[in-house]
Amino acid sequence: MLTVNDLMTVVPDVISPDTPLRDIIGMMKTEGYRHLPVVADNKLVGIITDRDVRLVMNSPMVLHERRQDEDLLDKVTAESCMTPNPVTVAPETPAYRAAEILSMYKFGALPVVEGDNLVGIITVSDFLDYFAANHKA
């Protein structure tokens, strides 16, 4: 049976809760990430997505001038805009179950943990890549 371990990205890049938004955006742009696990003391504490970043920078609730964007980039941290205690899966979780969770909750990624330790991340793209590679006409 195909498991999360077969598809996940092993030991993904992570950020800490105090990582400023400027650094998060830089990592996302440079590396092409849409999801970054947030880790403190080697324990998963949250996940931040490109959508979280867009909501902070383009909030319809807060009118601000462009120069104020610089303050947001330097003062807003991962902790203030991440999803805390995200839904996770284990490496041995059947892949179909992870796909069900991603679909049901409209998530783009699930952190993969063993105990409290982050060991990977599985994304919708991982499933698409697998499907494309293994189901050619």
The domains found in the chain, sorted by start residue, are 4-134 (3.10.580.10)
Specify the pLDDT at position 29: 95
Res 74: pLDDT: 78
Q: Which residues contact 71 (CB under 8 A, 6 or more apart)?
A: none
pLDDT of 42 reads 86
What pLDDT was estimated at residue 13?
Answer: 95
Q: Tell me the C-alpha distance between 97 and 100, whole Å.
A: 5
pTM, to two decimals: 0.88
Model pLDDT, residue 46: 97
Q: What is the pLDDT of residue 66?
A: 57
Residues of the chain with pLDDT under 50: 61
**Taking Cα atoms as reference points, which of 46, 68, 65, 56 lies closest to residue 25?**
56
